[in-house]
Amino acid sequence: MSITDELRHNIEGAEQLYGCECKHLLAVADRIDAEHDKALNSVDDAYDSGYNVGYDEGFASADDWLAQHEDAMAEHGWARLPKDADNVPVSVGDVMEWVRYKDGDPTIVRTVSGIGNGVFFAWSDEQGRYAQYEAHAYRHHHTPTVEDVLTEFADLVRKERVELATIGKDAIAEYASKLRLAEGED
């Protein structure tokens, strides 16, 4: 029940109780309702007649402008997410990997703790502090599957062009342990 409806109800109760008409009080309630409706309609008209359209147009033009002026975005604290070697955006919390040399040193795995323009920041055990890394030199890390390990082993055999019997026991043991780790996955 609105306030004016409550007022009308009380006016009707007073008329019945005292036997008098209160037309002037009913007229005040009617004027209140009319002013209220007029105010609501003017807000709706203002919104429909351009505010909403202008709002959307303003955002569209700002997006176009910012796409053409990325340097202005940086000045205002905006940064595009850096992308890794596979062109996948890097976010805080991602685990990234980098192999130092194709044949030799193990993969270096880092957890992203911050991002910048084309770079990410992560803890460096070698330096004993947080360091900056070029995002395009890293890939998102994934735990190897059985298929990955078998493919890597087949590549080794193909690359060495040797028979399985001539591959060292150490290499076979290494891939066997990798398979045991990969089997732990679903």
Angle, CA of 147, 161 and 165, to the nearest 5°? 80
> pLDDT by residue (tens digit) across 91-108?
899 999 886 655 544 578
Q: How many CB atoms lie within 10 A of CB 133?
A: 19
Q: What is the pTM of this model?
A: 0.42
The residue extents of the domains of the chain are 3-68, 95-140, 146-183
CA distances from 86 to 83, 90, 95, 138 (A): 8, 10, 14, 8
The pLDDT value given to residue 112 = 92
CA distances from 168 to 138, 147, 156 (A): 31, 21, 12
The pLDDT value given to residue 167 = 66
> pLDDT by residue (tens digit) across 114-172?
888 889 999 888 888 899 989 888 888 877 777 777 777 777 777 766 665 566 667 77
Task: Return the HEC string of 104-153.
Answer: CCCEEEEEEEEECCCEEEEEECCCCEEEEEEHHHCEECCCCCHHHHHHHH
Q: Tell whether the model's pLDDT for residue 178 goes beyond 50.
A: yes
